[in-house]
Amino acid sequence: VPFLKIENLHVEIEGKEILKDFSLEINGGEIHAIMGPNGTGKSTLASAIMGHPKYEITSGSVLLMGEDVLEMEVDERAQAGLFLAMQYPSEISGITNADFLRSAINAKREEGDEISLMKFIRKLDEKMALLEMDESFSQRYLNEGFSGGEKKRNEILQLLMLEPKIAILDEIDSGLDIDALKVVSQGVNAMRSSEFGCLIITHYQRLLNYITPDKVHVMMQGRIVKSGGAELATKLEAEGYDWIKAELGIED
């Protein structure tokens, strides 16, 4: 069974159809990238899958490990193994990073099987070291006063701590300098295993120099219009999207 299976998805915002018959399948062990011009619905895809109330799914299905995601409440989606890093991570005051992570991990586990404090701290230390994060980070309030780069790094920390089945990473590269980009990529690469599938959404090819995708999809006008291997991203970087538009007879 595919880790993530999106079939014929149609999504509207305020009565306007943004996703038009979007389909995609991701297996365990695979990293896929979606690229595409601004405004084609990439973030809409991420928000719709996560259950953002503004996005109305008019038809189609989303299955996580064979289970119907669209029937789940938002918190159930995360518990079922879906992880979403948003383009604009929100600030939550009054809760530290460490507290947040520990309760998020425990929310995914059975009652009575909570992670011990020792194990949690050991894991947190290990992952923070991998991401070259300062120890003080764990005691800071979630996203409060974090720089753009710190927020991104922190999202990857969440990814490494929560170990989801599927992660959807929307523009985790935006606003990162090259060093932060490398660290963030290192974190995603560390997740690579047969037990994990990943969808990277990006406007730029840059990130894909550090995370080599198994498949690259081009999204235009609300659906995937072309798929290929990592070489497709390189071609897009060099030639832009016009050749695809010409090939498909798309005007904009």
Distance CA 136, CA 115 (A): 21
Q: Which of 38, 107, 124 is nearest to 73 (CA)?
A: 107
CA gap 174, 208 in Å, rounded: 13
Select from 34-42, 94-102, 103-111, 177-185 the region that touches ligand ADP (CB under 6 A): 34-42
**Among 5, 42, 77, 152, which residue sits at the site for Mg ion (rule: CB under 5 A)?**
42
Return the number of the residue (35 or 98) whose C-beta is nearest Mg ion.
Answer: 35
138 binds, options Mg ion, ligand ADP, none, Cβ within 5 to 8 A by partner type: none
Question: Least CB distance from residue 222 to Mg ion, whole Å?
Answer: 13
Binders of ligand ADP among residues 145 to 164 (CB under 6 A) are none
- Build a one-symbol-per-residue string for 54-73: x at contacts with ligand ADP by CB under 6 A, - elsewhere: x-------------------
Q: Is 14 in the site for ligand ADP (CB under 6 A)?
A: yes
Minimum distance, C-beta of residue 81 to ligand ADP, in the bound complex (Å): 24
43 is a contact residue toward Mg ion (CB under 5 A): yes
252 is an interface residue for ligand ADP by CB under 6 A: no
Question: Token pair 């720089």 is at which residue?
Answer: 147
Work out what residue 81 binds among ligand ADP, Mg ion, none; the CB cut-off runs from 5 to 8 Å by kind: none
Of the pair 40, 97, the CB lying nearest ligand ADP is at 40
Q: Which residues bind ligand ADP (CB under 6 A)?
A: 13-14, 18, 36, 38-44, 54
